[in-house]
């Protein structure tokens, strides 16, 4: 969601075209921008000069000065001012919060993390904690709120196009997204609040395992299942932002719940221990350290008890992938989030268990390499896209 209403711009379209080229390019000349935009030379130069006056471009030493041009009149060279402001990406997870500040090239300038006590979480405290974390990250970057050009927050709740989440019968969504759009649009020019799995999908499509794919699903699969769905190059949302919600799996035979892969592995390991079915290393793990990652790690080390549990989790993953494949027909499903770092054994089992009698081809099953920061990576990418597409709608800052 943005804080700026859509409307007809009175500025020349050439300004947007040259700005978009500058955003994607490094140093460039008028000829480069002309080739990219199709504009005339005079229009291109006028747009570049205007963007310099606005403080969004800087003029570089000419081509002769840097040794790239030796005859005739040297070409003027320009580049985006990456220091003209900052982008902010936030992963406002259930228990873990992360805020990252970057320049306009998405180079990290500051980061802050904190952990919430979920049993004491309420909307007002959570709202204040997220705002404080953003301020802390800005201080770490040596910047202030006045420097922020675009900000994006990911939350574990469905989010509609206005940045708001529907009421939840247990108030979970209400607490996870406690009016964050209103909190940040009070001072940030461009704001987007979105579902965390949707932002994971943005990350995977931008720099992850779905680069080049037009139809894919990012499956956040740690504590609970969540999915970001991209079909034909479009991130799907739905009327209430609920396209990626996985509660439907409560009714899918062989899945039965939206609990994540790590949660299942830990629960099934604990059940096996309590039944006395395991006696090796798995049984020796202290109960307060028995989580999905521990089970998966033991399986990768060859522990047969853990491997049986991991295989069982893989069969469930295969059913999930097959169901998503029949619903959305994606080219690829990417298992993403913190659990992806050790999920190879689960994915291998899932690939073996994928049904072969489906009407549609089964999607490719891939593992993310973006780790636990996938949501905040997607949030930064979304903030960058927001700034690229809408910054000229709100920019009034003169050149420094």
CATH code, domain with 298? 3.30.420.40
Residue 158 lies in a domain: yes
Q: Are 149 and 107 in contact (CB under 8 A)?
A: no
Residues 237 and 200 in one domain: no
Quick one: 32 and 147 in the same domain?
no
Residue 284 and residue 323 in one domain:
yes
Quote the number of domains for the chain.
3
Contact yes or no for 320/225 (Cβ under 8 A): yes
Q: Is the pLDDT of residue 250 over 70?
A: yes
Q: State the average pLDDT for the chain.
A: 91
C-alpha 250/C-alpha 248 separation (Å) is: 5
What phi and psi values does residue 87 have, to the nearest 5 degrees? -110, 150
Query: What average pLDDT does this structure show over 241-253?
Result: 87
Higher pLDDT, 304 or 6: 304
- Identify whether residues 197 and 268 lie together within a single domain: no
Strand 332-336 relative to strand 216-220, pairing = parallel
Sheet holding 28-29, edge to edge: 28-29, 77-80, 57-60
- In the predicted model, is pLDDT for residue 69 greater than 60? no
Domain residues for 48? Answer: 13-80
Give residue 41's pLDDT: 95
Is 36 a domain residue?
Answer: yes
Residues 225 and 300 in one domain: yes
Whether residue 399 lies inside any domain: the answer is: no
Residue 1 in domain? no
* Same domain flag for 127 and 185: yes
Same domain? 296 vs 386: no
Position 6 confidence tier, pLDDT thresholds 50, 70, 90: very low
CATH of the domain at 75: 1.10.10.10
Residue 144 lies in a domain: yes
pTM of the model: 0.91
CA dihedral 304, 308, 311, 313 (to 10 degrees): -130
Q: Could you tell me if 135 and 68 lie in one domain?
A: no
Mean pLDDT of 278-299: 90
The answer to whether residues 262 and 223 touch, using CB atoms and an 8 Å cutoff, is yes
pLDDT value for 64: 56
Q: Can you give the pLDDT at residue 72?
A: 55
pLDDT at residue 394 tops 80:
yes
Cα 200 from Cα 217, distance rounded (Å): 9
3 domain-assigned = no
What pLDDT, on a 0 to 100 scale, did the predictor assign at position 157?
94
């Amino acid at each position: 969601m943005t804080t700026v209403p859509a409307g007809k711009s009175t500025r020349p379209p050439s300004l947007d075209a040259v700005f978009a080229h500058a955003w994607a390019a490094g140093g460039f000349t008028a000829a480069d921008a002309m080739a990219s935009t199709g504009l005339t030379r005079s229009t291109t130069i006028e747009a570049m000069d205007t963007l310099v006056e606005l403080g969004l471009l800087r003029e570089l030493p000419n081509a002769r000065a840097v040794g790239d041009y030796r005859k005739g009149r040297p070409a003027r060279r320009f580049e985006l001012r990456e220091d003209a402001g900052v982008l902010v990406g936030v992963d406002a997870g259930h228990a873990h919060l992360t805020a990252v500040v970057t320049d306009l090239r998405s180079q990290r300038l500051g980061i802050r993390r904190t952990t919430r006590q979920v049993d004491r979480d309420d909307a007002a405290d959570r709202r204040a904690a997220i705002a404080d974390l953003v301020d802390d990250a800005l201080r770490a970057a040596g910047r202030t709120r006045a420097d922020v050009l675009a900000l994006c927050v990911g939350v574990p709740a469905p989010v509609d196009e206005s940045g708001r989440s529907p009421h939840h019968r247990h108030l979970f969504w209400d607490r996870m997204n406690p009016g964050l759009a209103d909190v940040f649009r009070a001072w940030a020019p461009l704001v987007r609040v979105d579902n965390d799995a949707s932002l994971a999908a943005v990350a995977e499509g931008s720099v992850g395992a779905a680069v080049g794919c037009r139809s894919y699903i990012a499956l956040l699969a740690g504590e609970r299942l969540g999915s970001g769905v991209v079909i034909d190059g479009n991130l799907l949302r739905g009327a209430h932002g609920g396209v990626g919600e996985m509660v439907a799996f409560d009714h899918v035979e062989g899945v039965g719940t939206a609990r994540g892969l790590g949660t299942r592995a830990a629960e099934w390991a604990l059940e096996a221990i309590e039944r006395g079915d395991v006696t090796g290393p798995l049984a020796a793990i202290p109960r307060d350290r028995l989580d999905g990652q521990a089970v998966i790690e033991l399986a990768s080390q060859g522990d047969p008890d853990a491997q049986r549990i991991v295989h069982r989790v893989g069969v469930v993953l295969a059913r999930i992938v097959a169901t998503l494949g029949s619903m959305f027909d994606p080219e690829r499903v990417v298992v993403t989030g913190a659990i992806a770092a050790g999920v190879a054994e689960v994915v291998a089992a899932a690939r073996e268990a994928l049904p072969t009698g489906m009407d549609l081809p089964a999607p490719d099953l891939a593992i993310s390499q973006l780790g636990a920061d996938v949501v905040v990576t997607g949030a930064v990418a979304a903030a960058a896209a927001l700034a690229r597409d809408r910054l000229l709608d709100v920019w009034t800052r003169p050149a420094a």
